[in-house]
Chain A
């Protein structure tokens, strides 16, 4: 079974631009979560989608948004990029949302550099 895939793997943008990242979950998984990882703050939860609906949202500004499609694939968008948005963006999938005891499977991430 193929794992979680994320595209692109690397991205360089300039301040003020916007960016869209894509995540394809493991086949059969309907829940997709997004995390931002930086050296200073570690891994921080952005949002989770299930059945095309945002289920939970972390403490990030409105410039960060996401969506999920009927095939469970998800995209996240960051508008008006800032230097501080440079990070590794990780996507994780699981069958259904619920208790954290269910394993989440992470993709390799998209490394975004904002200049």
Chain B
């Protein structure tokens, strides 16, 4: 079974700061997804990356898929309190199940 390691586990920053969350694996995934989950709700898909080296932007969020399709990063520019939540990466295991990392809990204070 493939494993996904996310770091850091917790992040507490001030509004306006930049941050990067990492998602690493020793295995190759056919695609990788990033989700955001708020308390009391299910995860909501932010982006799916499929091609090695791919970069996708979603407003202040930048997602990158590693060239070898084993790792990914999420960079947030000028974080806002509304960005607070649990960020999860998930790899597609050969079209069967999604393998999730344990998540990064982000807290942005004003």
Q: Which residues of A contact B33 (CB under 8 A)?
A: 100
Q: Is B15 an interface residue (CB 8 A)?
A: no
* Cβ-neighbour of B97 out of A4, A41, A56, A105 (below 8 A): A56
State the interface size on chain A (CB cutoff 8 A).
27
The reply to whether B95 and A100 form a contact with Cβ atoms under 8 Å apart is: yes
Q: Could you give, for residues 77-115 of chain A, a 1 whenever the CB lies within 8 Å of some chain B CB and a 0 otherwise? A: 000000000000010100001111101111111000000
Q: Which of A59, A99, A105, A107 has the most CB of B within 10 A?
A: A99
Does B75 belong to the interface (CB within 8 Å)? no
A-B contact count (CB 8 A): 67
Do B45 and A42 touch across chains, with their CB atoms under 8 A apart? no
Contact residues in B for A33 (Cβ distance below 8 Å): 97-98
What 9 A-B pairs are tightest by C-beta distance, nearest first? Answer: A100-B92, A106-B42, A42-B102, A43-B100, A45-B97, A101-B31, A99-B95, A56-B96, A106-B43
Partner of B42 from the list A41, A44, A92, A101 (CB cut-off 8 Å) is A92
What residues make up the interface of A, taking CB atoms closer than 8 Å to B? Answer: 4, 33, 35, 41-45, 48, 55-56, 58-59, 90, 92, 97-101, 103-109
Q: In the assembled complex, which residues on chain B have CB atoms less than 8 Å from the CB atom of A106?
A: 35, 42-44
How many interface residues does B have (CB within 8 Å)?
A: 28
Q: Which residues from chain A contact B43 at a C-beta distance below 8 Å?
A: 43, 90, 106
With most chain A CB atoms within 10 A of its CB, the pick from B44, B92, B95, B96 is B96
Please name the residue on chain B nearest to A103 by beta carbon: B45
A111 CB, min distance to chain B CBs, angstroms: 9
Contact B48 A101 (CB under 8 A): yes
B28 within 8 A of A: no
Query: Is B97 a contact of A107 with CB atoms below 8 Å?
Result: no
User: What are 10 sample pairs from A and B whose C-beta atoms fall under 8 A apart?
Assistant: A33-B98, A42-B101, A48-B96, A48-B97, A99-B31, A100-B33, A100-B91, A100-B92, A101-B30, A108-B41
CA distance A95 to B16 in the complex (A): 39
Known A-B contacts A90-B42, A106-B43; A100 and B100 likewise in contact (beta carbons under 8 Å): no
